[in-house]
């Protein structure tokens, strides 16, 4: 199996450790994510786990598959985002709805974000899981914006 290599300037062992903690031990990640990564890559499940155990070198293909399998988890996606850039999920199909309906979806997503912010800041501090949830909700707003753009 040939994976493209990540440039040497990145601390690959630290990235692999972080990925392993996020993909295997995190309570907010589905426990079937590594098998989904294997399926996306077209490799055996054991091979996908071997990357996380450091027996196989991490690749960009693996990172891409991890982002897809986690539906764009911001803690994984960050390894593919240069400073000042954000990956955006584009609508999977052309929108058949009108611009007004799509704009309503933006407003609803923003309202949900406000609810999440209120819950997260109720105790005066935002925890790492809460920050991840807020980032996911911001991503949802961006997707709704992309769908509105597609409706034009």
pLDDT of 115 higher than 70: yes
pTM over 0.75: no
* Strand residues in 62-106 grouped as ranges (E): none
DSSP SS3 for 5:
strand
Confidence at 49, pLDDT banded by 50, 70, 90: very high
Residues 6 or more apart whose Cβ sits within 8 Å of residue 81: 87
Ramachandran region of residue 84, left (φ > 0), alpha (ψ -120 to 50) or beta? Answer: left
Q: From the CB of residue 69, how many other CB atoms can be counted at a distance below 10 Å? A: 24
Confidence at 47, pLDDT banded by 50, 70, 90: very high
pLDDT of 124 higher than 80: yes
pLDDT digits (tens, 9 = 90+) for 92-112: 665 566 888 889 999 999 999
pLDDT digits (tens, 9 = 90+) for 74-93: 889 999 988 888 887 776 66
% of the chain at pLDDT higher than 70: 89
pLDDT digits (tens, 9 = 90+) for 53-78: 999 999 999 999 999 999 888 889 99
Confidence at 3, pLDDT banded by 50, 70, 90: low
pLDDT at 94: 55
pLDDT at 92: 63
Q: Quick check: 54 and 16 in contact, CB under 8 A? A: yes
pLDDT of 118 higher than 70: yes
pLDDT at 147: 87
Sign of CA dihedral 79, 114, 116, 101: negative
């Amino acid at each position: 199996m040939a994976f493209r290599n990540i440039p040497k300037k990145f601390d690959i062992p630290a990235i692999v450790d972080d990925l392993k903690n996020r993909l295997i031990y995190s309570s907010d990640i589905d426990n079937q994510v590594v098998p989904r990564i294997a399926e996306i890559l077209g490799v055996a499940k054991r091979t996908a786990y071997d990357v996380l155990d450091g027996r196989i070198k991490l690749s960009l293909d693996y990172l891409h598959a991890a982002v897809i399998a986690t539906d764009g988890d911001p803690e994984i996606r960050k390894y593919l985002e240069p400073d000042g850039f954000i990956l955006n999920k584009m609508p999977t199909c052309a929108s058949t709805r009108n611009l007004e309906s799509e704009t309503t979806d933006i407003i609803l997503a923003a309202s949900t974000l406000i609810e999440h912010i209120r819950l997260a800041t109720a105790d005066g501090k935002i925890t790492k899981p809460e920050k991840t949830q807020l980032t996911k909700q911001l991503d949802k707003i961006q997707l709704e914006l992309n769908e509105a753009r597609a409706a034009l």
